[in-house]
Chain A
Amino acid sequence: MKFTISWLKEHLDTQKKDNELIEKLTDIGLEVESFENVSSGLDSFKVAKIINTEQHPNADRLRICDVDIGLDNIVKVVCGAQNAKKDLLTIYAGPGSIIPKNNMKLSVSKIRGVTSYGMLCSESELNLSNESEGITELTASKYSDKIGKNFFKSNTEKVVDLSITPNRPDCLGVRGIARDLAAAGVGKLKKISLKNKKKIRSQKIKVSITKDKNQGCTVFGSCLIEGVTNKESPQWLKEKIISLGQKPISAIVDITNYVMFDLNRPLHAYDADKIDKEIIVRNSKKNEIFEALDNKEYKLDNDMCVISDKSGVLGLGGIIGGTRSGTEIKTKNILLESAYFIPRSIRKTSKLLNIDTDAKFRFERGIDPQSIKLGLSKAAELISEICGGKISNFDIQQTDKHENNKIKFNISLFEKITGFKVNDNEIIKILTDLGFEVSKKKLEFDLKIPTWRPDITQPIDIVEEIVRIKGYENIETLQPEKTKIKDTLNAQQKLFHFLQRSVASKGYFETVTWSFTDSKINKIFKENLKEIKIINPISSDLDVLRNSIFTNLTFYLKKNLDRGFKDISLFEIGPIFKGSKPGEQLTVVGAIKSGKISRLNWNEKDRIVDVFDAKKDVIQTLVEAGYDRQSFFVRDKSPSYYHPGKSGSVYLDKDEIDPVAYFGEIHPNILKKLDIKTEGLVGFEIYMDYLSENKTKLKDLKANFEYSDYQKSERDFAFVVDKSVRAQDLIEIISSIDKNLIRSIKIFDVYEGENIPQDKKSIALNVTIQSSEKTLEESDLEKINKLIISTVETKSGAKIRS
């Protein structure tokens, strides 16, 4: 909402300085976005002097001018005008200026190979005259001391721009703002002066509001002004319209606009001679067509509120008028409309047709239904003053009386909500100044709510009115209490933070990427999850919710590889989506690692990242998060985007159904498809939702401190097994032989090749044996040795290597 201080003062009697008024506006909830001179766009035209010219090397008719524009350095401008010569005073437009004649925006450009910074203007280009031959010549006597100054004088007043919240339609007019300021004690609200001459003529055009279902119009006021001469607006009116950031059009249009911004009372003026017999306010029928004042043709749906005559639709009520009945400079007779439209109806229609106008903006928020006559009076008087014409009486068609709402306000509520007290008389004054009618009954007020405040419906709204006018600075700052109702974090949240920092501590950079992604990349990683489309994506390559964390990670990995990084470790912890309903999401940690380990290292040999790097990181993270490594179970199944032979899944326990994590090398085909160029790429995913809460708490685990001081022995074994036998199976077989004696098993060598049959491999293990009851004797060790060999041989078909 824009206005000037002088306009405000037409409604507010005040001695306050501008900046005090500005501060007050913000204090009472009318946020000031800016208070500054509106750039008319004309301040980029400077008085300039040509100090030298030379012939353009590539064009006979062009000259290169050195121009003094009052700055330290001289600018070079290429000019085709014959009168461009040394010492000429003229008008210069710099890059960025908009030429009034053709609305062309200037930029630095090359003309036949020579760079030109801006342009020297002709009178016609500046709309000063029709003289288009040559550039403007300014007289030296008047302009020689003005080089670098603006050519156009600006006498514009500073404009206040308020950001009005949607609950305050009343402040979409200057008068409403003045009322709020008056209530806040910075002045007095002036009375509106109207002549209200007696009107003898009658309004001859019949108006009716049909009883359609959900009729969007409840009041339609009109008056006829006959014998007007439409013309250019007088200067004072033009200035007001310009200060709103709008273009003056004609007196009649400008007046209706002015009244809208002054009183927040939208009006519409019809050329009465173009109306076919009568005005009918009715619901539209499907496929009715009308051409609006924005020069667009609209095809209507059923049940939109239209103003029509016998021939068809004239306008969309409260939204936009039509070209058929629009006023022109030659218009003689005017029908002026002042109506009330129901916000819901306005909102629905304008959304469907995608129209936004100042009137729509206001009706949608709620216009004062009791301002019908005021609007007609004010506009009709101005029209007859400026354009002449005789005003008819007012015809008011009404299906709803729109009486003031009433509420009871319990005075104690104010202190209960705000924590401080305001005395009753002050409350009464504030509310009265805001337009409420107040009658006090012991501890309660009976309030009649002004009809321009549709936002006020219940006692809490009254609290807000009082506290905002009284000032938020009166609210005390109370020290926060430290009492806790429950633990800050629950188990899942603790786990989240733990996993996050655990993965980061292994050298991964955490990233945060969009929850949506490119469906083309998502397809690669979505497996059998449903694709979840966004109906209105921000761009076509962010069109679905991600089904996997890897979609964005691989996308950004590529970007970083393209930046020249090679060894990249990235991870994200966040949601992936399984469905489009609330809660159909999982929290996943996804991490990827590319390139080499120990690249360009003087004392360690480099190697490409491999599946066991990913496995180490995922297992270590799970162990650090408190899960027992001994019970983990790894299967070689994994999603299709992993290398089929170099990937796996981790289960917390052999019996678990859902894996908690996947790890492995990313499928080489995917690297090709995504054009990712790296020596190696591995990754892992941890599904937080499948990580069950640890049953035993750390404090219970710690209490179980047991150890054995008896001597431990180590024995090495090498078994030759089928290639299909998994290391995990061998370890399981051995460890289950005697859980009391076998303390740990380490695989220290895996060998395939010479001396071993083609379909076999050799696995060498180191087994630590220790009793918690005694020192084992050689015979005990021999016994367990033999048992290990025989059990492994029977259960896995292995042969001990001799």
Chain B
Amino acid sequence: MSDLKKIKDEYLNKLDSDLNIESVNQIKTELFGKNGQISNSFKSLGSLPTDERKKFASDLNSIKDELQDKINSKLQEIETQEINSKLENEKVDVTLPEREFSRGKIHPVSQVIDEISSIFSEIGFSIEEGPDIENEHYNFTALNTPDNHPARDMHDTFYLDNNKELLLRTHTSPVQVRTMLNGKPPFKIIAPGRTYRSDSDQTHSPMFHQVEGLHIDKDINMGHLKGCLNYFIKSFFEVDKIKMRFRPSHFPFTEPSAEVDIGYEIKDGKIVIGEGDKWLEILGCGMVHPNVLKNVKVNPDKYQGYAFGIGIDRLGMLKYGISDLRAFFETDYRWLNHFGFDPLDVPSNYRGLSR
């Protein structure tokens, strides 16, 4: 027994020292090899008297287990050390740039259209669209703007034929006409899109964007119009309070008509929408003229409602502090990158309109 103890202590001691894999394997052979000390001890079991054999065998087994565990853990320890020292050599400079990625952008006009659609969707409006090329009838006559009406002069129209029959729509209002002619009331739509006027300077661009709104039902009155626009403006500018002013105005296709101003102030050279004592005109609206309803075969004695038209580009400029309208359409890569939106930024009611 004392021999066994001696062997055990000797080898445990050895295994505690600094060893490589070969020396550990050497030790393994010395103990458990064919002529290993432990193997030999097992062989000697048979020659022991019965009463001693049992005790000896039990001691031997526990020593064997202890040594084997020690050897295994030693081997593992060495392996871990070797991997670690290998990894140490593989170290890279992680401050080097990542692999290239490219990030696209959504144009502010598209983003604002999505914002507007999201807001109006919340209050039950659906989206209609119409062609960019219109005929004189849908763009003017059906909208109670006959040829001899001076209001036509307010629209500098692009024409596609010498008879002035075909033109680029000057507003999104013809979508009202098309929608009502193709359906039955009630109507509750918005119609965003491109519009054109032959007008070009610092604040006008020959192409711009408008969103038309139309709500026709049995008892839609000017109070609903006010409520709808108030809700929209508050939601769009993401403010709790908004100062709004409805001012009488004139459009041939609505009566009574109004222009809507919102309050603003200049803070640190920037426009702040909401409060303030200055007024900014942002849209035109009114109750759809009975003549228009007649023109689209809707009975004005049964149905009534409102319509409005808002400049999309201008809304975007106000909300996102863009100062030059013409830049919207000039495709300057730097401008698109700066004012563009991440494609994952989809405006929605539950995630919020803008980040």
Note whether A and B form a binding pair.
Answer: yes
Asked if B311 is at the interface of the complex by the 8 Å CB criterion, the answer is no
Asked if A509 is at the interface of the complex by the 8 Å CB criterion, the answer is yes
Asked if A488 is at the interface of the complex by the 8 Å CB criterion, the answer is yes
**Inter-chain contacts of B206 with A (CB < 8 A):** 514, 516, 538, 542
**Inter-chain contacts of B247 with A (CB < 8 A):** 26-27, 29, 31, 472
Of the candidate stretches B37-45, B80-88, B336-344, the one touching chain A is B336-344
> B187-209 vs A: 1/0 string, CB under 8 Å?
11000001010101000001100
> A548-573 vs B: 1/0 string, CB under 8 Å?
00001000100110010100111000
Asked if A39 is at the interface of the complex by the 8 Å CB criterion, the answer is no
Given contacts A166-B150, A493-B129, A535-B161, contact A515 B104 (CB under 8 A): no
Of all chain B residues, which has the CB nearest A597?
A: B100
Asked if B227 is at the interface of the complex by the 8 Å CB criterion, the answer is yes
**Inter-chain contacts of B228 with A (CB < 8 A):** 480
Partner of A538, one of B100, B105, B138, B198: B198
Say which size band chain A's interface belongs to.
35 or more
Given contacts A480-B123, A500-B110, A538-B198, contact A419 B223 (CB under 8 A): yes
**Inter-chain contacts of B329 with A (CB < 8 A):** 512-514
A579 to B93, CA, bound (A): 60
> A579-606 vs B: 1/0 string, CB under 8 Å?
0111111000000000001100111100
Asked if B320 is at the interface of the complex by the 8 Å CB criterion, the answer is no
* Contacting pair B222 A505 (CB below 8 A): no
* Contacting pair A504 B221 (CB below 8 A): no
Of the candidate stretches B8-16, B28-36, B51-59, B250-258, the one touching chain A is B250-258
A290 to B228, CA, bound (A): 56
A485 to B138, CA, bound (A): 24
**Inter-chain contacts of A476 with B (CB < 8 A):** 223, 226
Asked if B124 is at the interface of the complex by the 8 Å CB criterion, the answer is yes
Partner of A347, one of B97, B109, B148, B259: B148
* Contacting pair A461 B332 (CB below 8 A): no
> B218-255 vs A: 1/0 string, CB under 8 Å?
01011110111011000000000000001111100001
Of the candidate stretches A201-209, A432-440, A462-470, the one touching chain B is A462-470
A467 to B257, CA, bound (A): 10
* Contacting pair A582 B133 (CB below 8 A): yes
Asked if A49 is at the interface of the complex by the 8 Å CB criterion, the answer is no
Asked if B48 is at the interface of the complex by the 8 Å CB criterion, the answer is no
* Contacting pair A507 B102 (CB below 8 A): yes
Of all chain B residues, which has the CB nearest A508?
A: B104
**Inter-chain contacts of B334 with A (CB < 8 A):** 563
Of all chain A residues, which has the CB nearest B246?
A: A472
Given contacts A165-B249, A510-B104, A560-B333, contact A482 B223 (CB under 8 A): no
Q: How far is the CB of B31 from chain A (nearest CB, A)?
A: 44
**Inter-chain contacts of A536 with B (CB < 8 A):** 158-159, 198
Which residues of A (480-529) have their CB < 8 Å from a CB of B? 480-490, 493, 497, 500-516
Which residues of A (5-47) have their CB < 8 Å from a CB of B? 26-29, 31
Given contacts A166-B151, A501-B343, A580-B133, contact A565 B333 (CB under 8 A): yes
Which residues of B (312-345) have their CB < 8 Å from a CB of A? 328-334, 336-337, 340, 343-344
* Contacting pair A515 B105 (CB below 8 A): no
Of all chain B residues, which has the CB nearest A415?
A: B221
A463 to B334, CA, bound (A): 51
Asked if A365 is at the interface of the complex by the 8 Å CB criterion, the answer is yes
Given contacts A28-B248, A417-B256, contact A480 B99 (CB under 8 A): no
Say which size band chain B's interface belongs to.
35 or more
Q: How far is the CB of B214 from chain A (nearest CB, A)?
A: 12
A778 to B148, CA, bound (A): 88
Given contacts A481-B123, A509-B104, contact A581 B166 (CB under 8 A): yes
Of the candidate stretches B66-74, B114-122, B268-276, the one touching chain A is B114-122
* Contacting pair B188 A485 (CB below 8 A): yes
* Contacting pair B133 A585 (CB below 8 A): yes
A343 to B147, CA, bound (A): 12
**Inter-chain contacts of A490 with B (CB < 8 A):** 127
Q: How far is the CB of A291 from chain B (nearest CB, A)?
A: 26
* Contacting pair A582 B222 (CB below 8 A): no
Asked if A458 is at the interface of the complex by the 8 Å CB criterion, the answer is yes
Partner of B332, one of A501, A534, A563, A580: A563
Q: How far is the CB of A618 from chain B (nearest CB, A)?
A: 15
Given contacts A534-B158, A534-B160, contact A29 B248 (CB under 8 A): yes
A563 to B96, CA, bound (A): 29
* Contacting pair A575 B250 (CB below 8 A): no
* Contacting pair A505 B132 (CB below 8 A): no
Given contacts A165-B249, A458-B290, contact A535 B159 (CB under 8 A): yes
**Inter-chain contacts of B246 with A (CB < 8 A):** 472-473, 475
* Contacting pair B154 A166 (CB below 8 A): yes
Asked if A640 is at the interface of the complex by the 8 Å CB criterion, the answer is no
Asked if A710 is at the interface of the complex by the 8 Å CB criterion, the answer is no
* Contacting pair A418 B122 (CB below 8 A): no
Asked if B289 is at the interface of the complex by the 8 Å CB criterion, the answer is yes
A26 to B261, CA, bound (A): 11
* Contacting pair B104 A478 (CB below 8 A): no
Asked if B27 is at the interface of the complex by the 8 Å CB criterion, the answer is no
* Contacting pair A506 B166 (CB below 8 A): no
Given contacts A343-B148, A480-B224, A560-B332, contact A464 B256 (CB under 8 A): yes
* Contacting pair B223 A501 (CB below 8 A): no
A597 to B99, CA, bound (A): 11
Of all chain B residues, which has the CB nearest A29?
A: B248
Given contacts A504-B343, A535-B159, contact A510 B107 (CB under 8 A): yes
Of all chain B residues, which has the CB nearest A168?
A: B250
Which residues of B (130-161) have their CB < 8 Å from a CB of A? 131-135, 138, 148-151, 153-154, 158-161
Q: How far is the CB of A367 from chain B (nearest CB, A)?
A: 13
Of all chain B residues, which has the CB nearest A502?
A: B343
* Contacting pair A537 B221 (CB below 8 A): no
Of all chain A residues, which has the CB nearest B232?
A: A480
* Contacting pair A560 B104 (CB below 8 A): no
**Which chain B residues have a beta carbon within 8 Å of chain A's beta carbons?**
96-97, 99-107, 109-110, 114, 117, 120-127, 129, 131-135, 138, 148-151, 153-154, 158-162, 166, 168, 186-188, 194, 196, 198, 200, 206-207, 219, 221-224, 226-228, 230-231, 246-250, 255-259, 287, 289-290, 304, 328-334, 336-337, 340, 343-344, 346
Pick the 8 closest A-B CB pairs, nearest first: A29-B248, A507-B102, A165-B250, A419-B223, A556-B331, A504-B104, A468-B248, A504-B343
8 additional A-B pairs beyond A26-B247, A478-B226, beta carbons within 8 Å, are A485-B186, A485-B188, A509-B337, A515-B194, A582-B135, A582-B166, A602-B96, A603-B99
**14 CB < 8 A contacts A-B:** A29-B249, A460-B256, A463-B255, A464-B248, A479-B227, A480-B228, A505-B344, A509-B104, A534-B168, A569-B104, A570-B333, A582-B135, A582-B138, A585-B131
**Which chain A residues have a beta carbon within 8 Å of chain B's beta carbons?**
26-29, 31, 165-168, 343-344, 347-348, 364-365, 416-420, 458, 460-461, 463-464, 467-468, 472-473, 475-490, 493, 497, 500-516, 532-539, 542, 545, 552, 556, 559-560, 563, 565, 568-570, 574-575, 577, 580-585, 597-598, 601-604
